[in-house]
Chain A
Amino acid sequence: EAQVTQNPRYLITVTGKKLTVTCSQNMNHEYMSWYRQDPGLGLRQIYYSMNVEVTDKGDVPEGYKVSRKEKRNFPLILESPSPNQTSLYFCASSLLGGGIRQPQHFGDGTRLSIL
């Protein structure tokens, strides 16, 4: 089954404790992206990757890091989480042909609470 898998689905942690949210896709997609969803703000893009070893900032990259060492994986790293990073996070992937014009497949989300 074609899917984007995020782990963990839920996490409660404390300020300053480094964490990683993993994202894996099995569709051989070149493009992957991370978003956060907050009430009243919709979805905002954090980082995206056009292919292996190619990453770029979205609209809200501060406080986050990403890496794309393999095509299927695109982990989101919070080196020193803060309470304002409490949010619902989504990973997505798509074929690159047409770039962002291709529909993205989203994971089911990771709810992070930073205390």
Chain B
Amino acid sequence: DQQVKQNSPSLSVQEGRISILNCDYTNSMFDYFLWYKKYPAEGPTFLISISSIKDKNEDGRFTVFLNKSAKHLSLHIVPSQPGDSAVYFCAASGGTSYGKLTFGQGTILTVHP
């Protein structure tokens, strides 16, 4: 039972354009969401997060939007750069299992020069 889903396995974008990565969740107890980026042969690195009390959080070129009613979040990268090419994972936490973190399947982003 995949509680966090990234339905697009891959996304291809031109340099300078916007990249939009999507994530859906089913557990209504989730109240904190994070995005991680992963390059080949490295561990994931934290990118940006958002609490359920907000609907938007920005950090430079990265913005995360949260739509609680739709149980949907998205990561916007503007403008996209070739160095953004990586696998992006969304993750969610919340509820009674304080230390548990549930990840999605990941989306491979390729930014073409």
Task: Flag if A100 contacts B99 (CB, 8 Å).
Answer: yes
With both beta carbons as reference points, the residue of chain B lying nearest to A94 in the complex is identified as B46
* Nearest CB in chain A: distance from B20 CB, A: 19
With both beta carbons as reference points, the residue of chain A lying nearest to B94 in the complex is identified as A100
Task: Give bound CA distance, A87 to B99, whole Å.
Answer: 23
The answer to whether B105 has its CB under 8 Å from any CB of chain A is yes
* Nearest CB in chain A: distance from B98 CB, A: 5
With contacts A31-B99, A33-B101, A100-B100 taken as known, whether A43 is within 8 angstroms of B44 at the C-beta atoms is: yes
Contact with A along B73-113 (1 / 0, CB 8 A): 00000000000000001010100011111111110000000
**Cβ-defined partner of A48 (8 Å) among B43, B44, B99:** B99
Task: Give bound CA distance, A94 to B68, whole Å.
Answer: 26
Which residues of A sit under 8 angstroms from B93, Cβ to Cβ? 99-101
Between A and B, 16 residue pairs with Cβ closer than 8 Å are A40-B105, A42-B6, A42-B104, A43-B103, A45-B101, A49-B99, A50-B99, A58-B100, A59-B100, A59-B102, A90-B44, A99-B99, A101-B93, A103-B34, A105-B43, A108-B42
**Given A33-B101, A48-B100, 8 other A-B residues pairs in contact with their CB atoms under 8 A:** A35-B103, A41-B105, A42-B6, A56-B97, A100-B98, A100-B99, A101-B49, A109-B42
Q: Using a CB–CB distance below 8 Å, which chain A residues touch chain B? A: 4, 31, 33, 35, 40-45, 48-50, 56, 58-59, 90, 92, 99-101, 103-109
Q: Using a CB–CB distance below 8 Å, which chain B residues touch chain A? A: 4, 6, 9, 32, 34, 41-46, 49, 51, 89, 91, 93, 97-106
